[in-house]
Chains A and B, each alone.
Chain A
Amino acid sequence: MQKEVISQKQAIIIMSAFIIGSSSVVAAGSDAKQDYWIAWLISISMGAIIVAIYARISKLYPQEEFPTVLNTLFGKVGGTIINLIYTWYAFHLFSLILRNFSEFVGIVSLNQTPSFVFGYFAAVLSIWTIRSGFEVIGRVLSIFFPLFIILVITVDLLSIKLFDFDNLKPVLYDGIGPVLKSSFALFSFPYAETVLFLYLMGSIRKTSSPYKIYYASLLLGGIILASISIRTILIIGVPNISIQKFPIYSAVRLINVADFLQRIESTVAISFIITGYSKGSVCLYVTTKGLSSAFNIKDYRKMVAPIGLLAVLYSIFIFENASEMFYWATEINPYYTIPFQVIIPIIIWITAEIKSRKKAACTL
């Protein structure tokens, strides 16, 4: 199988879209209320620390597939176990994205259509992309990501008239506790989810720097995400955010320019399709890659379809309703993801540092 290669620019675009992902419709970190911007600053700082670890791991083993790195560091058995842990994480995340997408479309527009229909079509799109090779995501996003940025900026500009800066006051009214809780939630969803990009780093060009990719994406994705969330707070305010399932969508609905340009909330749906597709495809790629290397299957592309279809079915029964989904996202997910995003990467990093230093000492 020919090795897939993506450029640094494509990697940054994919990762930025991945970071924005479903956060472009689900208001993550809303516990901080009007202090969202403080929570964002803290979370992105925490994100900057953890991605340094991810980038370092990639830097120590450039051009190497992540499952191979795990096997080198922990042996065949240990490496396969960690690989399968990440495979599960990516599979679970892909199902969550499919469910988010199904709930979003079901709630905001097609209420009578069974939700699994949206899940199936979203998954088939990702399956087809990954079957065609991972670099296809890079090419697709090279076209659609600039369009997405233009959409976000346009909506920001059009909504300036609706901004009420009093919605950001009073600062720290409820103390620092909810802000820290939100920062933690934002850190785990979406910044630290970029741990899955360790699987992609083997496919980036030799000249690319993992640090550049991680930090540029963190900054680009983070700024766009912050602009979307702060815009929502400024338009509809905290009380309305807490009663809405998809507040970002509801906020954009209010934009009305001279009774001519209105009902532009479909832009939010378009944004979600672009970023959700990117995130879903990355998760599907990681799941397939992980499972294929655990079973020594040469061409991972052959396994994409059953895994993708299985993820749709899993997304149907993972939650009974939308409330359960939001409860998981806000209360459970930040803690559930700690081992995948923090503990295991730190163990991998320390082991990688020790092994590479030993190797360097031996060669001297």
Chain B
Amino acid sequence: MITLTFTIFGSIFAKKDLVPLYKNEEWVGFFLYLALLCLGLTIAILSDFKVQIPNPIDPIRKLIEFILGIEE
């Protein structure tokens, strides 16, 4: 479901944004847009398959817990 929703919204916005970026030959924006969409699609598929995705805030949380001496 997450993938399907992402695909629907992603396609609507991509049609509105990617085409002008391509036509105006703004390649940095075009490829950054595509890269973000691909990253999003990958995360959406992994989330649907209940795959554990590495969370960037885990190391931050562990560091702060270590500094403050909080035990989980």
Contact = CB atoms under 8 A, between A and B. Distances in A.
B29 A310 contact: no
A310 B43 contact: yes
Given A302-B29, A306-B13, A309-B9, A328 B57 contact: yes
A309 B40 contact: yes
Nearest to A95: B57
Interface in A287-326: 291-292, 295-299, 302-303, 305-307, 309-310, 312-314, 316-318
Nearest to A331: B70
Contact of A127 (B2, B13, B32, B70): B13
A127 B40 CA distance: 15
B55 A317 contact: yes
A297 B29 contact: yes
B16 to A, nearest CB: 8
B61 A313 contact: no
A336 B28 contact: no
B64 A306 contact: no
A297 B2 contact: no
A305 B70 CA distance: 38
Contacts of B68: 335
B5 A116 contact: yes
Contacts, number: 85
Contact of A318 (B6, B20, B57, B64): B57
Given A120-B9, A303-B32, A313 B57 contact: no
A331 B2 CA distance: 30
A319 to B, nearest CB: 9
A313 B32 contact: no
A56 interface: no
A92 interface: yes
The majority secondary structure among interface residues of chain B is helix
Interface in B10-44: 10, 13-14, 16-17, 20-21, 26, 28-29, 32-33, 36-37, 39-40, 43-44
Nearest to B36: A306
A144 B49 CA distance: 40
Nearest to B20: A302
Interface residues of B, number: 34
A239 interface: no
A313 B21 contact: no
A78 interface: no
Contacts of A306: 10, 13, 33, 36-37, 40
Most buried by B among A303, A309, A318: A309
Contacts of B6: 309, 312-313
Interface string A269-293: 0000000000000000000000110
A314 B61 CA distance: 16
Contacts of B17: 302-303, 305
A327 to B, nearest CB: 9
Most buried by B among A307, A310, A316: A310
18 contacts: A296-B28, A298-B26, A302-B20, A305-B9, A305-B16, A306-B10, A306-B33, A306-B37, A309-B9, A310-B39, A310-B43, A313-B47, A316-B47, A328-B57, A328-B61, A331-B70, A332-B64, A335-B64
Interface of B: 1-2, 5-6, 9-10, 13-14, 16-17, 20-21, 26, 28-29, 32-33, 36-37, 39-40, 43-44, 47, 53, 55, 57, 60-61, 64-65, 67-68, 70
Interface of A: 92, 114, 116-117, 120, 124, 127, 291-292, 295-299, 302-303, 305-307, 309-310, 312-314, 316-318, 328, 331-332, 335-336
